[in-house]
Structure 1
Amino acid sequence: MRLTVFGATGGTGRRLVDLALAAGHEVTAAVREPARLPERAPAAPAPHPVRCDVLDREQVAAAVAGADAVLSALGATDGGPVCGTGVPHIIAAMKAHGVRRLVALSAAPVPDRDPGDRPLYRLTVRPILRALFSAAYADLAVMEGEIFTSGLDWTVLRPPRLTDGPATGAYRTALRRNVPGGYAISRADLAAEMLRVLDDSAAVRATVGIGY
């Protein structure tokens, strides 16, 4: 499958690119600075780097052209939140090029309330997180709204706190709700789930909670 990955130099994006290449996919890495992509051995499979600022419609359209599916591992950057503006550009490019499948990364605290939240999380942790990272979560909420009304075959993953731990494969997932008690997930396991749901028909037009 030909995949375009946005946010390919981020903590989750790098792992996602590695997994996709190892699985035999052709990967276009849409990044602002291609030089930041990790160096690879000469014989190792490598992504096709495309210089792309997600705030630039034309660059996004060029990165999406020819893809079978798009994965967004975008998040807040040093310049501030970009998902609420950048992902609508991705959606427009996908529609223009006839690309249907979109997997995007959001966050567990984004919805005001969630059926998977335990009382302690709902009453204490969620309000604190939403107060501390209000701009980032507001940006992701805008992004989710654009995705939900896009008409594409989308999946939105909502992870909790991210860690740099190893891939375990021992994570839990839940459709259309957060994972009860799932307060953390490694970026490696999150990337694995992003790749897995590409072919999961049950996850199409659904949010997916994930956590340990």
Structure 2
Amino acid sequence: MKITVFGATGGIGGHVVEQALDAGHHVTAVIRDSSRFEMAHPALDIVRVPGLTDPELLVPALEGSHAVISGVGPRGRKEGPIATQLTRTILDAIGATYVRRFVAVSAAPVGTVPDGDSFVNRRLILPFFGAFLRDLYADLTEMERQIQLSTTEWTVVRPPKLTSKPLTGTYRTALGANVPRGYSISRADTAHLMLATLNDPATIKQTIGIAY
């Protein structure tokens, strides 16, 4: 499969690129002109663009691809609400091609609290981060709305707190919901799930919760 990856220099996107190459896929990594990207592989193409602001500049990176995976989004409060803007540009570029499969990462607080969740999650963790990062989660909510309105065969993965722990391939998921008592997940395992959805038709036009 040929996969185009946006946000390839980020924590999740970098794992997506690495794992996809290890699995035998051909990968096109889209990065900014000024970004440092040291990964090299015979099946890896690198496309440099000034920024994710012009859909026309992204179209060449999508040619021949079977799927698009996006790890773009804010890396902290200082970057502000950028997920909607960047994702809209990607969706516009996809609309000008024959690519239809699209997988993006969001965040667990965008979803509802699942049945059976813990008191800590319901009363402490989710309310705290929901208030502290209100603007970022509002941005991700709008991003998800834009994705769901698109003509793509989309999947949105919603992780809770992200960690830098190594890939395990062992985690819980919930289709259309958050994982009860799910507190954390590594970026590597989040990338693993995003790639796994490409071969799972049941995940099309669905959100997926993930956690240990």
Q: TM-score, normalised by structure 2?
A: 0.91
Task: Please name the residue that 2:158 is paired with.
Answer: 158
- SS in structure 2 opposite 1:180? coil
Q: Which runs of 5+ in 2 are unaligned?
A: none
Change (3 A) 1:50 1:152: same
How much does 1:93 deviate? 1.4
- Aligned residues of 1:159 and 1:209 also touching (Cα < 8 A): yes
Task: Please name the residue that 1:94 is paired with.
Answer: 94
Alignment deviations for residues 103-158 of structure 1 (CA, whole Å, 9 cap, x no partner): 000000013x2335715212322111111112211111111001111131110000
How much does 1:164 deviate? 0.5
Change (3 A) 1:54 1:116: farther
- Aligned residues of 2:107 and 2:157 also touching (Cα < 8 A): yes
Runs ≥4 residues deviating over 4 A? none
Q: Percentage identity across aligned positions?
A: 46
User: Aligned equivalents of 1:60 and 1:142: distance in 2?
Assistant: 22
- SS in structure 2 opposite 1:31? strand
Q: Which runs of 5+ in 1 are unaligned?
A: none
Q: Which amino acid aligns with 2:182?
A: G
Alignment deviations for residues 17-72 of structure 1 (CA, whole Å, 9 cap, x no partner): 001111111111111146511244xxx43521111311222222232233211000
User: Aligned equivalents of 1:56 and 1:140: distance in 2?
Assistant: 20
- SS in structure 2 opposite 1:109? helix
Aligned-residue RMSD, C-alpha: 1.7
Deviates more, 1:16-25 or 1:70-79: 70-79
Task: Please name the residue that 1:75 is paired with.
Answer: 73
Question: Is 2:69 the counterpart of 1:66?
Answer: no
Question: Is 2:48 the counterpart of 1:51?
Answer: yes
- Aligned length, in residue pairs: 208
What does 1:1-212 correspond to in 2, within 5 Å?
1-33=1-33, 35-40=35-40, 44-45=41-42, 47-52=44-49, 53-77=51-75, 79-111=79-111, 113-116=112-115, 118-120=117-119, 121-212=121-212
Q: Which amino acid aligns with 2:60?
A: A
Change (3 A) 1:176 1:51: same
- Aligned residues of 2:114 and 2:179 also touching (Cα < 8 A): no
